[in-house]
Amino acid sequence: MSQNLSLVGLIALPLVGSAVCFGLPKTNALLAKQVALFFSVATLIYTIVIGVAFDAGGDRFQFEASYDWIKAFGVHFAVGVDGIALVLVAMSVVLVPAVVLASWNSFDSADDAEELDAPQRSVKNFFGLVLLLEVFMIGVFVATDVFLFYVFFEAMLIPMYFIIGSYGGPRRQYAAMKFFLYSLVGGLLMLASVIGIYITAGQSSFAFSDLLGNVPDGASQKWIFLGFFAAFAIKAPLFPFHTWLPDAGAEAPVGGAILLVGVLDKVGTFGFLRYCLPLLPEASRDLAPLVMILSVIGVLYAAFLAMGQRDMKRLIAYTSVAHFGFIGLGIFAFTTQAGTGAVFYMVNHGLSTGALFMCVGFLIARGKSRQISDYGGTAKVTPVLGGAFLLAGLSSLALPGMSTFISEFLVLLGTFTRHKALAVIATTGIVLAAMYVLLLYQRTMQGTVNEKVAHFRDLNAREITAVAPLLALIIFLGVYPKPVIDIINPAIKATMQDVGKSDPAVPSSFGGSK
């Protein structure tokens, strides 16, 4: 019974916290922050308990619970986690307390606002929306009913729309509407595919276990795949479905941008692994080359665009499009190494991009500008901020010793065993990443001290507490990734079996059998 309650309780914790925040008086901003921090930390501790109890060598889905919801249509409130879902939930709940701390004073007054013309909005509503978003983020990863997954998938749009539209930058309303419309179109396509997979499988249930292996091969499977693919590619976003992200990432408040790029985008790539590959194996195999080509194009295209950006937040948003190209490549390479690397990349990208966005947010809060040209020599004035910025940047470019290097290496190695040309081309993205990250650091942190930078204060204790755990995890997992990889591997192997793929034989020149 305790296992049955675990994931339901995990969803309920931030939901209660969100309700408390919304119910507080508008004037009691400090209490709202304290409530958000308490419930986000409690959710993190709860997730750690679940992670410790998870048996990597046990059943594929653990901590399962299922309750009738819409009985006439076979819809259940069904939850459970495999290794893939568990590590993504863990990454999500690590980021939320960091966002709460990083956003602590962001909406208190004009002096604390990230930008000069940032709106003054209800503090308690912002933190209530963050906790509500956490509810849906956890729900979308733990759902084992396809219809329930769709509900959480769509529900995430609501709090993020208000976070961008009410608390974002000068073009917040445009960015929020663009984000909402793109996601809504993708959601409608996914709804059509959810209905299609239910009908073609001939089942009276939307449960993942009931649909697995029951979708007939043929044209209908490809059409269903395309509906899912469009929804997930928009959410990820993969090239050429990415155009909403630079606007949304740039205009969202930094806390919202961290969750948008660090977590919400992972729902797309998670959807490929959870639903497209296992439930639609024939279509996944047939259309994989196209997805991989788009992924490689995205790696190079986004990298070149990132180098030309003058807005720091837009630059980071474009780097994320490039990183998702690597993740897409790893998923559809159909090898255990590449698949494990892709999931580990999702986790590492959330931590790395979260830390980088946070450092940029601290810089913007001091300089009231997102423009790179308005800064220079900052590290000489704020050495702690400069050091954190450097570590986050080196993580983004996948420096050896950082966790991102392990995941990127696994993706490229696993892809090379099957698709040598695509792996070689994608490798050039590593060089381009070094260029745009180091240029950003050099122009903002090094060189002559800009006049407006001269009076900046360094990071305070709260800001250090927000960013330090992310940087510590990046370094720890870069040195010792085994605990996370051991959790991911069995789930990836099960997914490869579902899709009907096995790892290619290792040539004798690489130490394999002849």
Distance CA 29, CA 25 (A): 8
- Determine the pLDDT at residue 369: 85
Average pLDDT taken over every residue of the chain? 87
- Determine the pLDDT at residue 2: 42
Residue 514 has pLDDT above 50, yes or no: no
Range with lowest mean pLDDT among 183-197, 202-216, 387-401: 202-216
- Which of 271 and 108 is assigned the larger pLDDT? 271
Local confidence band at 120 (pLDDT 50, 70, 90 cut-offs): low
Mean pLDDT of the 421-444 span: 87
By CB atoms closer than 10 A (0-12, 13-18, 19+), residue 399 is: middle
Question: Residue 211 has which token pair?
Answer: 């649909």
Local confidence band at 513 (pLDDT 50, 70, 90 cut-offs): very low
Distance CA 326, CA 42 (A): 33
What CA–CA distances, in Å, run from 58 to 62, 184, 487, 502?
8, 37, 10, 21
- Determine the pLDDT at residue 321: 87
- Sign for the CA dihedral angle at 109, 115, 116, 121 comes to negative
- Determine the pLDDT at residue 465: 93
Model pLDDT for residues 345-402, shown as the tens digit of each residue: 999 999 999 999 999 999 998 888 888 888 988 889 999 999 999 999 999 888 888 9
Mean pLDDT of the 421-440 span: 87
**Does the bond joining 483 to the residue before it have cis omega, within 30 degrees of 0?**
no
Cα angle 410, 415, 421; round to 5:
130
DSSP state letters, 376-407 = -SHHHH-HHHHHHHHHHHHHHTT-TTSHHHHH
Distance CA 469, CA 225 (A): 38
Distance CA 278, CA 238 (A): 20
Q: 62: part of which helix (H) or strand (E)?
A: strand 62-70
Residue 507 has pLDDT above 80, yes or no: no
- Sign for the CA dihedral angle at 78, 81, 84, 88 comes to positive
Q: 69: part of which helix (H) or strand (E)?
A: strand 62-70
Q: Which long-range contacts (CB under 8 A, 24 or more apart) does 219-222 make?
A: 220/196, 221/280, 221/282, 221/283, 222/282, 222/283, 222/286, 222/287
Residue 448 Ramachandran class (φ > 0 left, ψ -120 to 50 alpha, else beta)? beta
> If DSSP codes are grouped into helix, strand and coil, which group holds residue 423?
helix
What CA–CA distances, in Å, run from 106 to 247, 261, 331, 452?
20, 19, 37, 20
What CA–CA distances, in Å, run from 41 to 94, 321, 430?
8, 30, 35
DSSP state letters, 175-226 = HHHHHHHHHHHHHHHHHHHHHHHHHHTT-S--BHHHHTT-S-SSHHHHHHHH
> If DSSP codes are grouped into helix, strand and coil, which group holds residue 323?
helix
By CB atoms closer than 10 A (0-12, 13-18, 19+), residue 434 is: middle
Residue 118 has pLDDT above 60, yes or no: no
Distance CA 370, CA 72 (A): 52
* Domain-wise residue ranges, the chain: 2-504
Mean pLDDT of the 76-88 span: 91
Residue 107 has pLDDT above 80, yes or no: no
